[in-house]
Structure 1
């Protein structure tokens, strides 16, 4: 008999589809490609988000993928940094960047940014990266580009610089490449490089075809999910998302729950017959993890009365979360005292039971080992 649908069962299906249960994915690029795009404005959080999906890896493995260009980091949607497979970035930008540029048009007027300014900065950026390459560096830092912009008369104060840089990336002229190295240590930022040099081969998908592929891959990796969840995540208008659903729904399964239509892959739906795994799972996920952030409606896995404990003041900054059996039951912290780094749970209600506490401590040790590697 199929398992009855409950919020926890739906949550565990999402855990399984995101590679957060069982064996996960074999490599870092495999995980990122499966997820299509993973929010990554906080690089440390993004590293752990990948690490939770690729067992046995270390943070250095994700950095190595960025260094090699087998994973890239850019602004494909919602004006926010994400990790993507390199071959996916250009066609996704072709779908999403126009709407984003329209959304920031007013801010560009306030900052006195014109199309000619953006083209001028493109030329400056290409020249600067050429100079850096001749000097033996694979790209230019944000500060080096800003300095070059200023020297050419393009002001960078009051967020003007980051808007110019973002515009160059939105137009697929620049992309973030290898990690920057400073004073012999791993840096926390990436170098900017010309897009076509870093990603010489890209897939070519038209808008309708691309939206249909994005929707199918979103549902396959995040289902059960609604078409509204996808529209919010991708910022693709709901009318186009619904049209795309008609193109792919014969490859998906529909679940009715709480008066809404949720979609998932047939393989995922099969778990309802065989038994959805993860009922005793406990995970310490990073802030901004797609498990919670990747949906418009998060109430299936996070009780509305606890939402502000994850995003205090609704300020858009997501705290690290503890997920038990498909439900977000608390947050967790990381603190440093000298060279000693520790983690601590902050459950929403009471304290963790003995078994959950042991599981959390195991997760904490895995996190510290991962980030140190």
Structure 2
């Protein structure tokens, strides 16, 4: 099959759960997160919005807080040195597979924080004992606990102490306490966590990535998972008929076999958070989001922090939100003029965000 860049991008939007017509392809938050294996949640609140966009109308911010509190989705450091949402079923085998690579990537930070092996093992043991029995603790409480034992744990240093304990499969997210996040023992939060033999895990992560992100390249997967190219090659050989490949301009793209989902009517406007998998899940083939070069031509000083405006498959602007008592105000900075249909679709996307947050949406758009 001969594909061009736009067709690759169209197939990709379907794979990441953004390109199909209603009904939504996923039943609940756990299905969304499980589809990807790990969904980047560096910023908790926008990451919930990424899940909601794949669940269709009616899902609220509070609904996803409940799913998180109930442990249907968890949050921890895995795949890369950042937070991801994962499901209880995937938590341990993903950590077993990728934690050694993430530890290696964290090596410089451990050294900068004077966090050697014995100290990290001690802090992990102290934290595990403290949160046992459902005694979920916040970062501030864990810092105080470590200080009580003569261990300085603030800011950057505390962060890497906690990351180490997560990667060692000791702690993960607990339920929210008001607006504060807590930590819980993995063995209590996921009492029957599944392991997987290494080769089976490699086959599964390769299949999961290319099914949920494809068409994508082996270099994209290497970025996303922190795995070596040799590990990915092994996974591809083990995945067999679960994946198919196509070459475009000398680059091999992998995806699940079969036809892409039917796209929604054009124009389809999405307000994606900055770390949405459609944006951040790629390295080598990220250019497929911007085939017209609009991002490269945009003034960097106006790169708004909350997210990216995508029209059909292509980046067309940036946006940020401000939540007020009576409305959520969406500031849209457009990389090109929008026609009437695109402007209406932008307002529709803002209304979806407003419904998710339980507020009226007001759009303020400017052309860069």
**TM-score past 0.5 threshold:** yes
Q: How does 1:218-233 map to 2 (within 5 A)?
A: 218-233=209-224
- Note the C-alpha offset of 1:304: 7.8
Q: Is the 8 A contact 1:310 1:318 kept in 2?
A: no
Measured against aligned partners, the alpha-carbon deviations of 1:210-241 in whole angstroms (never above 9, x if no partner) come to 11100101111111111111111101001110
| Alignment correspondent of 1:15 | 13
Q: Is the 8 A contact 1:146 1:156 kept in 2?
A: yes
Measured against aligned partners, the alpha-carbon deviations of 1:105-145 in whole angstroms (never above 9, x if no partner) come to 233223221222122222321332248x4xxxx51001000
CA separation in 2, counterparts of 1:64 and 1:248?
Answer: 35
Matched, 1:199 2:190: yes
The runs of 5 or more residues in structure 1 that have no matched partner are 182-186
1:90 and 1:318, CA in 2 relative to 1: closer, same or farther beyond 3 A? farther
CA separation in 1, counterparts of 2:70 and 2:298?
Answer: 34
| Alignment correspondent of 1:65 | 67
The runs of 5 or more residues in structure 2 that have no matched partner are 360-368
Q: How does 1:141-160 map to 2 (within 5 A)?
A: 141-157=138-154, 159-160=156-157
CA separation in 1, counterparts of 2:147 and 2:330?
Answer: 42
Q: In angstroms, what is the RMSD of aligned CA positions?
A: 2.4
SS for the counterpart of 2:78 is: strand
SS for the counterpart of 2:328 is: strand
| Alignment correspondent of 1:54 | 55
TM-score (norm 2): 0.89
Q: Which has the higher contact order (CA 8 A, sep 6+)?
A: 1
Q: Is the 8 A contact 2:267 2:312 kept in 1?
A: yes
SS for the counterpart of 2:176 is: strand
Measured against aligned partners, the alpha-carbon deviations of 1:298-346 in whole angstroms (never above 9, x if no partner) come to 1011248444588958x9x964111112111111221345643211322
| Alignment correspondent of 1:355 | 341
Q: Is the 8 A contact 2:69 2:176 kept in 1?
A: yes
Q: How does 1:98-177 map to 2 (within 5 A)?
A: 98-130=100-132, 133=134, 138-157=135-154, 159-177=156-174
TM-score (norm 1): 0.88
When structure 1 is superposed on structure 2, of 85-94 and 19-28 the one drifting more is 19-28
Identify which of 270, 282, 301 aligns with 2:289. 301
CA separation in 1, counterparts of 2:345 and 2:97?
Answer: 42
1:211 and 1:250, CA in 2 relative to 1: closer, same or farther beyond 3 A? same
SS for the counterpart of 1:83 is: strand
